[in-house]
Chain A
Amino acid sequence: MSYIKPLIHHPLSKQNSVGYLKSDYEGVISTLCAGCGHDSISSAIVQACYELSIEPHLLAKLSGIGCSSKTPAYFLSNSHGFNSVHGRMPSVATGANLANRDLIYLGVSGDGDTASIGMGQFTHVIRRNLNMTYIVMNNGCYGLTKGQDSATADEGSKSKSGSVNRFAAIDLVGLALELGAGFVARSFSGDKSQLIPLIKRAIQHPGFSFIDVISPCVTFNNNVGSTKSYDYVREHNEVIKISDFVPEKDEIKVEYDEGTSKKVKLHDGSDLELSKISSGYDPGDMKTALLRLQESRVNNQILTGLIYLESDSQDLHSMLDTVKTPLNKLREADLIPGKKELEEINKSFA
């Protein structure tokens, strides 16, 4: 079944700087379960893109297979989307990005789609530092096939049917750090105040950005004993606070007291200000990030916030040294070498 959303705007809704209303960033009505964490993430994406004043058609949204991967239909209807095959979104995103470096690429995936069947592609897209934002809607289970444990389910976590997971969990944040992702964050679908600014910052990052969003499955994994339930995550959420980032074009600048904030100058020209709430935390330092992540794990906490940020990273196009013009905009005259060249080639094989 599909529903059409009414085209009614709230009288107070405002156009953003590119002339779009927030509703222009919405998609069709979700068919996920009521209360699904994924829907909150979809609406955070809508809010983030609206606030960033992205022209929707200049963003491409991609996904694999699973509950999470259905969501591209539920946000950004004016963007082209690609709901690909299970675990293979990164390769499709890579090809798309190679074809047109000017678009914004937003990939959404799930814990099954990324940490199991798609593990290979996930690791390699990080290595290549593809300029994209990769969001995992992480609920620790396979929803569409009725609640089997996924590879991110914590050891000892209890499923709705009462069985206990005996296998070690794969922590995608730790993995992304190890693999050298330039932007690594974790958030919680229930904390929009944290999630929206993280998505905004991730989209602005000129390279691979990864956000692992704990997103409880209300139907199969929200029970007592589950470590991915709303209650559990709220109780164990250890937040690294960051301020809303301020792009250069915005004139408003949030001031922080000396000593409580750290300003990072990014090579795309924008500034990122980070509140040093946790003493000694420097998201620009890989060692600190890895250590904090480990500590938090040992303490049974779920570390959320911007965990690591590399201020200067070379994306795939710079590594490949491709022309600035998107490859899909090159014309026949740019691409066909001509008859004289062909004659030369013939000669070299005679």
Chain B
Amino acid sequence: MSDNNIKINDFVIRFANVNGTGSASANSMFAKSVFRMGIPITGKNIFPSNIQGLPTWYEVRVSEKGYLGRKEGIDIMVGLNPQSLERDVRSVKPGGYFMYDSTKLLHKEYRREDINYIGIPMMEICIENYTDPRLRQLFKNIIYVGALTTLLNIDIEIVKGVIADEFSKKPKLIEPNVKALLLGVEYVERNFEFPLNVYCEKRDLVKDKIVIDGNSASGLGAIYAGATVAAWYPITPSTSLVNAFENFANKLRIDEETGRKKFAILQAEDELAAIGMVIGASWNGARAFTSTSGPGVSLMNEFLGLAYFAEIPTVLYDVQRAGPSTGMPTRTQQSDVLICAYASHGDTKQVLLFPSTPRECFDLSLTAFDLAEQLQTPVIVMLDLDLGMNDHLSEPFRLKKGHHFERGKVVSTEDLENGFHFGRYLDVDGDGISYRTIPATHPTMGANVTRGTSRNEYARYTEDEREYVKNMDKLIRKWESAKSYVPGPEINESFEHSKNAILYFGTTLFPAVEALDMLRENGHELNSIRILSFPFNQEVKDFIDRHDTLFVVEQNRDAQMRTLLMNEMDVDPKKLIKVLNYDGLPITADHICREIMQNINKSEPVNLN
């Protein structure tokens, strides 16, 4: 059965592969080719915590309208994994397509009447053309890319260009890959009508945009932010952030004369040591960072308390994954909001930043290193697996004119020589932010002992309760000051009359934007606010005050951001409606829209086109 609805540049294609069979690079070449046709795309890896053998999926959403969130429903499934075949066949939308390797007959239990089957004898073609079993497996992937090229009307020259770029360092591989591509193309040309009802047409919609993952963007941001020390412990999904930093550093931070490195990267023995190294390096005047995920944050809590209390600049990237405990290590969530906001025992509050796109990962990296030094405190950049590890269409990276580092209140040798009255924890300016000295600043002035114990304004140990309270109050004064330093929210208040709004952060951006359009089509006009940082500043408070109901969209079970809003701004819990997704997959516009519609009017039918 075929659906006569023609869909141009608006579909979801999912690849079901076996982990470790080389499908990832074929799939990403497919996505890149569509992107180079000028069409907005977004790719999502849904992969197991495994090196080889388990099912893995890659999903590409092609959207002329520029909706870059995940979408429910699959138009085309490329099902190459016997383990997940049943589920993969089931997940195709009625009228959609199921492509499979027809070398073996597809069992009739996998036959559905309401979808179209495209059998390509991929393995047979490989066996005819290649003798090496490893190559047969690898080129099987390229053959289906070739088949899709023709079926979806993708420009073959663009695909060839992508292959050439992919193998630019191993040019010998270009020709055999192109050959495999053409085998797929030719088979389709001989056996099928093309294009399908779902296909691509060239556009000029992506302009100078780039496709990159958030971890790479953050690693690059750390380079431009001047980070010289990175300490880390391997953990999915944050590992590739430090890898990216290292790759960029090896290109951009090598001393020309000596060939030596203007950076140091150390793989620590655990996350405790990783954050300890960052704190030691930052204390000593270098810009340093670590990156981790939820389990690492749990371990780093003690040190984060030290950095908060002793007031040491610290930059931490938390690429969140599905918890609690080991949870689902390769699935996404926004479930570390509370543990990060209040990391460590005692009264603590930590500065958080919430990027939504790779470009923001870059920009907020620059912000994070500045803020950490300006505020002399930890700054946690909150990515999630979806942002960190998946490729996203993004604005290109740009540096602001006159980009420079904000090092905050650092006392120099000259300041001390000129009689600056130094006390490490004196609140000279009344903003709760004290002056610090870097070790070795002056032979006889400015030295002090940094400690996690109570101390007086001159960093001397004391258990005097008045000194303790004075210090705790200074820290909260600093917290208040932080509100004017951190980036404010992104607000869209096009509907002045509307008393309803949606509040979201991080990777919920694109699904939320799409959901707002869907809601509007259903007659509901909502304003929106995207949180970029914690502490919340006055703009957040004012926006919430201007609305009666806020749908707080989060990718966790316990509505952690909602708790934070209630706790920090005394917002009436009744006006904050939870919209949650915590299955480990990126949240979809359909889900947000459905939840909000159900809440607004339970009897109203929901039209999700």
* Chain B binds chain A: yes
A residues touching B (Cβ–Cβ < 8 Å)?
2, 28, 55-58, 60, 62, 70, 72-73, 77-85, 88, 90-100, 102-103, 120-121, 123-124, 128, 316-317, 320-324, 327-328, 330, 332, 334-337, 339, 341-342, 345-346, 349-350
Q: Across the interface, which residues of A come within 8 angstroms of B276, CB to CB?
A: 84-85, 88, 90-92, 94-95, 121
Of the candidates B208, B279, B439, the one whose C-beta lies within 8 Å of that of A95 is B279
CA distance A57 to B448 in the complex (A): 10
Residue B342, interface by CB 8 Å: no
Given known A92-B283, A322-B264, A328-B285, contact A350–B405 (CB-CB < 8 A): no
Residue B403, interface by CB 8 Å: yes
Whether the pair A346, B280 counts as a contact (CB closer than 8 A) is no
Residue B85, interface by CB 8 Å: no
CA distance A324 to B258 in the complex (A): 9
3 interchain residue pairs of minimum CB distance:
A95-B280, A91-B276, A99-B286
CA distance A328 to B226 in the complex (A): 10
List the B residue with the shortest CB-CB distance to A24: B444
Of the candidates B212, B265, B273, B397, the one whose C-beta lies within 8 Å of that of A91 is B273
Among B208, B209, B261, chain A packs the most CB atoms within 10 A around the CB of B261
CA distance A98 to B211 in the complex (A): 34
List the B residue with the shortest CB-CB distance to A18: B443
Whether the pair A120, B269 counts as a contact (CB closer than 8 A) is yes
Q: Across the interface, which residues of B come within 8 angstroms of A342, CB to CB?
A: 224, 397-399
Q: Across the interface, which residues of A come within 8 angstroms of B285, CB to CB?
A: 99-100, 328
List the A residue with the shortest CB-CB distance to B264: A98
9 more CB-based (< 8 A) A-B contacts, given A85-B303, A124-B273, A337-B253:
A2-B460, A28-B460, A57-B439, A92-B277, A98-B277, A98-B288, A328-B284, A332-B226, A336-B403
Given known A91-B268, A327-B263, contact A82–B252 (CB-CB < 8 A): no
Q: Across the interface, which residues of A come within 8 angstroms of B450, CB to CB?
A: 80-83
Given known A92-B276, A93-B280, contact A346–B224 (CB-CB < 8 A): no
Residue B441, interface by CB 8 Å: yes
Given known A95-B282, A124-B273, A327-B263, contact A85–B398 (CB-CB < 8 A): no
Given known A57-B444, A100-B439, A330-B262, contact A92–B224 (CB-CB < 8 A): no
Given known A85-B303, A337-B252, contact A92–B279 (CB-CB < 8 A): yes
Whether the pair B229, A99 counts as a contact (CB closer than 8 A) is yes
CA distance A322 to B175 in the complex (A): 41
Whether the pair A335, B262 counts as a contact (CB closer than 8 A) is yes
CA distance A102 to B285 in the complex (A): 13
Residue B302, interface by CB 8 Å: yes
CB distance from B468 to the nearest CB of A (A): 15
Q: Across the interface, which residues of A come within 8 angstroms of B211, CB to CB?
A: 349-350
Of the candidates B223, B228, B269, B270, the one whose C-beta lies within 8 Å of that of A328 is B228
Work out how many contacts link A and B, with CB atoms closer than 8 A. Answer: 222
Q: Across the interface, which residues of A come within 8 angstroms of B274, CB to CB?
A: 91
Q: Across the interface, which residues of A come within 8 angstroms of B398, CB to CB?
A: 342
CA distance A334 to B262 in the complex (A): 8
CA distance A157 to B226 in the complex (A): 53
Whether the pair A335, B447 counts as a contact (CB closer than 8 A) is no
Q: Across the interface, which residues of A come within 8 angstroms of B231, CB to CB?
A: 91, 94-95, 98
Residue B24, interface by CB 8 Å: no
Residue B281, interface by CB 8 Å: yes
CB distance from B340 to the nearest CB of A (A): 19
Given known A120-B273, A321-B260, contact A335–B451 (CB-CB < 8 A): no
Whether the pair A95, B288 counts as a contact (CB closer than 8 A) is yes
Whether the pair B448, A124 counts as a contact (CB closer than 8 A) is no
How many interface residues does B have (CB within 8 Å)? 71
Q: Across the interface, which residues of B come within 8 angstroms of A332, CB to CB?
A: 226, 404-405
CB distance from B359 to the nearest CB of A (A): 10
B:281-330 near A, CB below 8 Å: 281-286, 288, 302-303, 306
List the B residue with the shortest CB-CB distance to A83: B451
Binary per-residue interface labels of chain B (444-455) against chain A in the complex, 1 for a CB within 8 Å, 0 otherwise:
100111111100
List the A residue with the shortest CB-CB distance to B398: A342
Q: Across the interface, which residues of B come within 8 angstroms of A98, CB to CB?
A: 229, 231, 264, 266, 277, 280-281, 286, 288
Binary per-residue interface labels of chain B (412-451) against chain A in the complex, 1 for a CB within 8 Å, 0 otherwise:
0000000000000000000000000111111110011111
Of the candidates A28, A56, A60, A322, the one whose C-beta lies within 8 Å of that of B443 is A56
CB distance from A46 to the nearest CB of B (A): 15
List the A residue with the shortest CB-CB distance to B391: A349
Q: Across the interface, which residues of B come within 8 angstroms of A90, CB to CB?
A: 273, 276
Of the candidates B302, B404, B443, the one whose C-beta lies within 8 Å of that of A57 is B443
CB distance from A181 to the nearest CB of B (A): 16
Q: Across the interface, which residues of B come within 8 angstroms of A84, CB to CB?
A: 276, 279-280, 306, 452
Whether the pair A78, B443 counts as a contact (CB closer than 8 A) is yes
Q: Across the interface, which residues of A come within 8 angstroms of B441, CB to CB?
A: 57
CB distance from A347 to the nearest CB of B (A): 8
CB distance from B147 to the nearest CB of A (A): 26
Of the candidates A60, A77, A334, A335, the one whose C-beta lies within 8 Å of that of B284 is A60
Whether the pair A80, B452 counts as a contact (CB closer than 8 A) is no
CB distance from B381 to the nearest CB of A (A): 19
Residue B176, interface by CB 8 Å: no
Q: Across the interface, which residues of A come within 8 angstroms of B462, CB to CB?
A: 2
Whether the pair B252, A322 counts as a contact (CB closer than 8 A) is no
CA distance A337 to B289 in the complex (A): 18
Whether the pair B280, A99 counts as a contact (CB closer than 8 A) is yes
Q: Across the interface, which residues of A come within 8 angstroms of B252, CB to CB?
A: 337, 341
Q: List 28 A-B contacts (CB under 8 A).
A: A57-B439, A57-B442, A80-B440, A80-B447, A81-B449, A82-B450, A83-B449, A85-B302, A85-B452, A88-B276, A91-B268, A92-B280, A92-B283, A95-B279, A98-B288, A99-B283, A99-B285, A120-B269, A320-B261, A327-B228, A328-B281, A330-B262, A332-B405, A335-B223, A335-B253, A339-B399, A342-B398, A346-B208
CB distance from A226 to the nearest CB of B (A): 29
List the B residue with the shortest CB-CB distance to A61: B449
Residue B396, interface by CB 8 Å: yes
Of the candidates A2, A55, A99, the one whose C-beta lies within 8 Å of that of B281 is A99
Whether the pair A346, B396 counts as a contact (CB closer than 8 A) is yes
List the A residue with the shortest CB-CB distance to B280: A95
CB distance from A32 to the nearest CB of B (A): 13
Residue B461, interface by CB 8 Å: yes
CB distance from A9 to the nearest CB of B (A): 15
Given known A95-B282, A98-B286, contact A320–B264 (CB-CB < 8 A): yes
Residue B515, interface by CB 8 Å: no
CA distance A336 to B264 in the complex (A): 16
Residue B180, interface by CB 8 Å: no
Q: Across the interface, which residues of A come within 8 angstroms of B405, CB to CB?
A: 332
Q: Across the interface, which residues of A come within 8 angstroms of B208, CB to CB?
A: 346, 350
List the B residue with the shortest CB-CB distance to A124: B269
List the A residue with the shortest CB-CB distance to B277: A95
Q: Across the interface, which residues of A come within 8 angstroms of B138, CB to CB?
A: none
Binary per-residue interface labels of chain B (481-504) against chain A in the complex, 1 for a CB within 8 Å, 0 otherwise:
000000000000000000000000
Residue B220, interface by CB 8 Å: yes
List the A residue with the shortest CB-CB distance to B257: A323
CA distance A85 to B310 in the complex (A): 11
Residue B255, interface by CB 8 Å: yes
Given known A85-B452, A91-B277, contact A323–B404 (CB-CB < 8 A): no
Q: Across the interface, which residues of A come within 8 angstroms of B264, CB to CB?
A: 98, 317, 320, 322, 327
Among A62, A79, A123, A327, chain B packs the most CB atoms within 10 A around the CB of A327
Whether the pair A323, B449 counts as a contact (CB closer than 8 A) is no
Given known A91-B268, A336-B224, contact A345–B263 (CB-CB < 8 A): no
Given known A78-B447, A336-B224, contact A121–B269 (CB-CB < 8 A): yes
Residue B540, interface by CB 8 Å: no
Whether the pair B286, A100 counts as a contact (CB closer than 8 A) is yes
CB distance from A100 to the nearest CB of B (A): 5
CA distance A347 to B280 in the complex (A): 36
Q: Across the interface, which residues of A come within 8 angstroms of B224, CB to CB?
A: 336-337, 342
Residue B278, interface by CB 8 Å: yes
